[in-house]
Amino acid sequence: MSSRDLDVAATLRNRLPGGLVVTDPDVVASYARDQSRFTESGLPLAVLMPRSTAEVALCMKTLHELGVAVVARGAGSGLSGAANADAGSAVLSLHRMDEILELDVADRIAVVQPGVITSTLRAAAEEAGLFYPPDPGSVEQCTVGGNAATNAGGMCCVKYGVTGDFVIGLEIVLADGRVMRTGRRTVKGVAGYDLVRLFVGSEGTLGVITEITVRLVPAPAPRHTLVASFATLRAAGEVVSDITGAGLTPSLLEILDRTTVQAVDQLARMGLGDEVAALLLIQGDDRDAATLLDRVERVCGERGAVDVARSADPAEADQLLEARRLALPALERLGDWLLDDVAVPRSRIVDLIAAVEEISQRLGIVIGVFGHAGDGNLHPTVIFDAADPESTTTARAAFDEMTRAALELGGTVTGEHGVGRLKREWLARELDPTALAVHAAIKSALDPYGRLNPGAVLEISNRD
């Protein structure tokens, strides 16, 4: 750490309340990165751990006065390097702000601090007879603040939408420490620009979220689950297109390819079957879920499903979903991994699958495919050997080719994980020059000195 960093850390310790500034080298190092690969990071000079909005405001004001860059952090479960620190920056961890402040059954809203773990909010809503749908695969570790800042998706999106569809109000601490409230707690409300939408998905580059008001929905009916296996990945993709094309709305529609199924089986011994080339997991949570799954089962049959199993038992359903949640941890065990996150219009999912298969075969590299097929959002995961330069180069090439393929199919370079540091160059390819200039203008208005998470989303040089 440079002498300038040591001086700034000492100043922060002097000026901020006791216990708020952490400079223990091991702790600081553990806050330097999220869970992404191939993203740059540096050692922060300190980790700030505020307990209230007032403390966040004080931290931000102090950092502003000292001219120090700051990276807000939830649980660090991100996969795009969005929460990575830069050398000499401060990390602002919101994990101590973990209270559910209000859960109003009549208004069907919850007001939470940003460090609330997503599964905790879901459990609290369930206890109150309501439902908070957003359920990223990391639901047991990620925070509602991190979800709002990345506009996280999950398995529910095919029916319910993403985190942003549930966030209706925010409290934000701006770059200079001013506190702003925006949004509402009413069902409707159109006063002013929709700043909630602007901050949702802004990845800590526009302000720090210190309170989130989310809407809740009535508890769903007991879920019915169907699992179908296929002899080819493409046949499974065709079923996905058929289901959405027929106007059917399952509450979950996930896909796992052969590599992923076998990896999950090796990890959890679920008996998923060696001969399976692709697995679809499909759920319905309406009162007529059984009828929905009847129709889905017919579609699977028409597309030559090898096997179809159904269950109305919640425990069995949870077990099957566990297979999907284990996809990434299981693939991690096969070697080094580089996970992509691309989305295409639902009608193009078969083309995306074909493109990934072609890239995998041509480059001779293993790519495990899993994801939220019902949203057209896949996470093709390249398995490689980081110790072998050639393998690493091929992995990067496969990643780039898959991302390009998604764009060419009318899709997007990131369906849910965000731009972070991993896809910064790709954002510039997806947006037109005018849209990119508007992004830069908004960033400049809210963060004129470029100190909020400067390495993420946009290529913007520090303006000090």
Ligand X SMILES: Cc1cc2nc3c(=O)[nH]c(=O)nc-3n(C[C@H](O)[C@H](O)[C@H](O)COP(=O)(O)OP(=O)(O)OC[C@H]3O[C@@H](n4cnc5c(N)ncnc54)[C@H](O)[C@@H]3O)c2cc1C
| Smallest distance, ligand X to C-beta of residue 330, A | 10
Identify which of residues 273 and 335 has a Cβ nearer to ligand X in the complex: 335
Q: Is 138 in the site for ligand X (CB under 6 A)?
A: yes
Q: Considering beta carbons, is residue 204 or 374 the nearer one to ligand X?
A: 204
Closer residue to ligand X (CB): 256 or 299: 256
Q: How far is the CB of 356 from ligand X (least distance, A)?
A: 18
The piece of 143-151, 178-186, 188-196, 354-362 that touches ligand X (CB under 6 A) is 143-151
Instruction: Please give the distance of CA 71 from its chain centroid, rounded to a whole number.
Output: 17
154 is an interface residue for ligand X by CB under 6 A:
yes
Cα 287 → chain centroid: 29
Among the residue ranges 147-155, 239-247, 276-284, 346-354, the one whose residues contact ligand X (CB under 6 A): 147-155
Q: Hey, which residues does 171 pair with through a beta bridge?
A: 181, 211
Contact stretch for ligand X (CB under 6 A) within 144-152, 219-227, 345-353, 382-390:
144-152
What single letter denotes the amino acid at residue 383? I
Gap between the Cα atoms of 103 and 109, Å rounded: 6
H/E run at residue 118: helix 118-127
Q: How far apart are CA 210 and CA 243, in angstroms?
A: 40
By CB under 6 A, name the one of 16, 152, 240, 252 that touches ligand X. Answer: 152
Closest distance between ligand X and the C-beta of residue 135, in Å? Answer: 7
Sign of CA dihedral 15, 19, 21, 26: positive
Within 242-281, which residues bind ligand X (CB under 6 A)?
A: none
Contacts 24+ apart (CB under 8 A), 328-331: 328/137, 328/370, 328/379, 328/381, 329/267, 330/260, 330/263, 330/264, 330/266, 330/267, 330/268, 331/259, 331/260, 331/263, 331/368, 331/370, 331/381, 331/383
Residue 53 binds to ligand X (criterion: CB under 6 A): no
**Of 234 and 417, which CB lies nearer to ligand X in the complex structure?**
417
Footprint of ligand X on 207-226 (CB under 6 A)? 208-209
- From candidates 44, 50, 133, 146, binder to ligand X by CB under 6 A: 146
> Does residue 327 contact residue 264 with C-beta atoms inside 8 Å?
yes
Give the residue, chosen from 16, 70, 82, 331, that forms a contact with ligand X under the rule CB under 6 A: 82
Dist. CA 317–CA 251, nearest whole Å = 13
Location of structure tokens 């409707």: 188
Closest approach of Cβ 295 to ligand X, in Å? 26
- Per CB under 6 A, the list member of 153, 220, 237, 284 interacting with ligand X is 153
Q: Which of 5, 109, 112, 114 binds ligand X (CB under 6 A)?
A: 114
Residues 414 to 433: which contact ligand X by CB under 6 A?
416-417
If 0-12 CB within 10 Å is exposed, 13-18 middle and 19+ buried, where does residue 208 land? buried
Closest CA to 117 of 103, 101, 100: 100
Binding flag, residue 32, ligand X (CB under 6 A): no
CB of 101 to ligand X, least distance (A): 14
Instruction: Provide the minimum distance between the beta carbon of 159 and ligand X in the complex, in angstroms, as a whole number.
Output: 15
| Interface with ligand X (CB under 6 A), residue from 12, 46, 60, 149 | 149
Residues, the chain, total?
464
Query: Rounded to an integer, what distance in angstroms lies between the CA atom of residue 176 and that of residue 164?
Result: 25
Residues numbered 308 to 347 that lie near ligand X (CB under 6 A) are 328
CA distances from 77 to 46, 124, 146, 213 (A): 20, 22, 9, 22
Please state the closest distance from residue 145 (CB atom) to ligand X, in A: 3
* Identity of residue 443: K
401 binds ligand X (CB under 6 A): no
CB 174 → ligand X: shortest distance, Å? 11
> Which residues are near ligand X by CB under 6 A?
34-35, 71-79, 82-83, 94, 114, 136-138, 142-143, 145-147, 149-150, 152-154, 203-204, 208-209, 328, 416-417, 453, 456
